[in-house]
Amino acid sequence: MSQPISPDLETAARLEREKEYHNKAFAEDLRKSVDKYYETIAQSRAHYHQAIADTCEGKRMLEYGCGPGSQAFALAGMGARITGIDISDVAIKLAAEEAVRLGVQPEFKVMNAEALEFPDRYFDRIIGSAIIHHLELHKAYQEIVRCLKPGGKAVFIEPLGHNPIINLYRWLTPKLRTEDEHPLKIADIRLARRYFGQVKVRYYHMLSIAAVMFRHTPLFKPVLALLDRVDAFLFRVFPILRRYAWMSVIELSEPKV
In residues, how long is the chain?
A: 257
Question: Quick one: pLDDT at residue 69?
Answer: 87
Question: Quick one: pLDDT at residue 220?
Answer: 97
List C-alpha distances in Å: 195 to 54, 71, 138, 145, 148: 23, 25, 9, 7, 12
Would you list the DSSP string of 80-138?
-EEEEEES-HHHHHHHHHHHHHHT---EEEE--TTS--S-TT-EEEEEEES-GGGS-HH
**pLDDT tens digit at each of 257 positions of the chain:** 445 556 788 999 999 999 999 999 888 887 777 889 999 999 999 999 999 998 899 999 999 998 888 999 999 999 999 999 999 999 999 999 999 999 999 999 999 999 999 999 999 999 999 999 999 999 999 999 999 999 999 999 999 999 999 999 999 999 888 989 999 999 999 999 999 999 999 999 999 999 999 999 999 999 999 999 999 999 999 999 999 999 999 999 999 87
Question: Quick one: pLDDT at residue 107?
Answer: 95
Beta bridge pairs of residue 198:
253
Kindly report the CA angle at 142 between 140 and 143, in degrees rounded to 5? 65
Q: Which of 248, 48, 242 is nearest to 163 (CA)?
A: 242
Q: Which of 71, 63, 65 is nearest to 88 (CA)?
A: 65
Q: 148: burial class by Cβ within 10 Å (0-12, 13-18, 19+)?
A: buried
Question: Quick one: pLDDT at residue 1?
Answer: 45
Task: Kindly list the structural domains of the chain, giving each domain's residue range(s) and its CATH number in brackets, ordered by start.
Answer: 7-255 (3.40.50.150)
Question: Quick one: pLDDT at residue 2?
Answer: 47
